[in-house]
Structure 1
């Protein structure tokens, strides 16, 4: 399991962002609603899931931003 400096897996970190009022918060809400999403999910796994779901470019941009923020914490 890949973790940031705080020891948080990406999926667990993302779920903590659910109350944000930005694209990352929207991504977190969608991830929580997805029965296939797990707290140990990696950015790569979520990127693949978005591709399978036919997500738009904004979703990938939000995921990129979330990954950068997660790694910086």
Structure 2
């Protein structure tokens, strides 16, 4: 799966996860948020989500903290 991490209007990181067949720039065009923080590929394992790679078109890379942000969002959804 791919992801883009946006900064929302309250300055909070918002991850959007989507299938590999969708291009980064196509997903970017669909989102109302103005700032892209990072992007790349995401996978899930025993320790949670892990992110790697980059989006050449968006000129951003995956950050080490992105996996933890995505994991926290799923944990919040379960509460």
- Using structure 2 for the length normalisation, give the TM-score: 0.33
Q: Which has more radius of gyration?
A: 2
Q: Which has the higher contact order (CA 8 A, sep 6+)?
A: 1
Greater helix percent: which structure?
1
